[in-house]
Amino acid sequence: MSSISFTIEKRAPGNRARAGLLTTPHGVIHTPAFSPVGTKANVKGVLPAALAALGTEVVLANTYHLYLQPGEKVVQDAGGLGKFMGWQGPTITDSGGFQVFSLGAAFGKTISKFVKDASAEADARHKQQSVAMYDTDVASQHGQLAIIDDEGVSFTSHLDGSLHRFTPERSVEIQHALGADIFFAFDECTSPTEPYDYQREAMERTHRWAERSIKTHRQNIDAHKKQALFGIVQGGRHEDLRRESAREIASLGFDGIGIGGSFSKEDMRGALQAAVGELPEELPKHFLGIGEPGDILEGIAGGMDLFDCVAATRIGRHGSIYTKRGIIHLRNGEFKNDFTPLDPEGIIPGTESFTRAYVSHLVRSGEMLGAIIASMHNVGFILNLMEGARQAILDGRFDEYRAAFVSAYYY
């Protein structure tokens, strides 16, 4: 029996958007929901109490990083991920597959979650707003090594160059020790630039790894009672592969489904629709690594229930913030004497007293408080966006809500 339950409360007419309740051992997640990313058991710049005050209901952490530091045994001895980081609510861990990709095909490159759009205008927005798919947290002087075979992946630590190996079984074992309410099967995350034949090869390998992951999970009776396992649909930007992958992953009996991989922004909707159309309606669905405002709204319309992304805190650390009029970059000189709130149309709890001029001063002078305020603001902005979308679905006006959102976030 699954450790989670999912109830759909309301469906939006004309698309696949839905509002639901995802019940976990550590609390209820009101969907659609956004999970701030706490890569190393911390959401950068935001204390757990502040996360709760902002409206966070679930936090996602990273298997690869916690395996290397401090080690899954330390987290387990602390009572699991939530207790270790001082977070009371539900938690999720990913499988580590994305970080392995960062050490391999994407190492040293700025490969975005999306291939560049065709138009010059869209491409300019993409460069300004998107976050590198390459995980900058695994960059080091130790060089590249991530060798994939049918059994698993061998890789070097970005910390000291030591050699390690992940298999589906090992990834599940680590995530059992981390103890998150929801965790993901080990998969191969491909570069959007890989050819069709390799996308198929990687997808089929992901399917075999999914079978091994779910078998390992079910063999651990205690973990099976406490934790839910989600499978991951792959297939890149190719709709036929997405449909095939969705059918295969859905047949394995996972507690939920993640949509992973990479594709162009122009292809995102088609790839998503191709996958979701093959998935069981009753399962919760997580759009992995998606967190820009426009992409979230597209994902909700496509039937996604959960989202996660490092973008909110990453761009915050660099002095950029979300507003209802689009992203603004507080390092720019135009904000030096701008004494208006960070976003006059949406004040975020905990940031009420700060002006654009003040935060601009902090980030331009390298003060860490600037990154903290901007990160808090961005996390709160995305959480407010999710809350508004959920209420709009319940009120039967989601299309209106989505259409009214500033066009700057659709690119």
Query: Which residues carry out catalysis?
Result: 94, 308
Per-residue burial over 245-261, b = 16 or more CB atoms within 10 Å of its CB, e = otherwise: bbebbbebebbbbbbbb
* Rounded Cα gap, residues 265 and 234, in angstroms: 16
**In whole angstroms, what separates CA 263 from the centre of its chain?**
15
Contact yes or no for 242/250 (Cβ under 8 A): no
Mention every residue, 6+ apart, whose C-beta is less than 8 A from residue 372. Answer: 45, 46
- The single-letter DSSP state of residue 333 is G
| Pure H helices in 187-334 | 196-219, 221-226, 239-250, 265-276, 293-301, 311-317
**Sheet hosting strand 18-24, strand order edge to edge:** 5-11, 18-24, 27-31
Burial class of residue 337 (count of CB atoms within 10 Å of its CB; 0-12, 13-18, 19+): exposed
Contact yes or no for 84/52 (Cβ under 8 A): no
* Rounded Cα gap, residues 6 and 265, in angstroms: 29
* Rounded Cα gap, residues 347 and 248, in angstroms: 44
* Strand positions, DSSP E, 27-179: 27-31, 33-36, 59-61, 91-93, 146-148, 153-156, 163-166
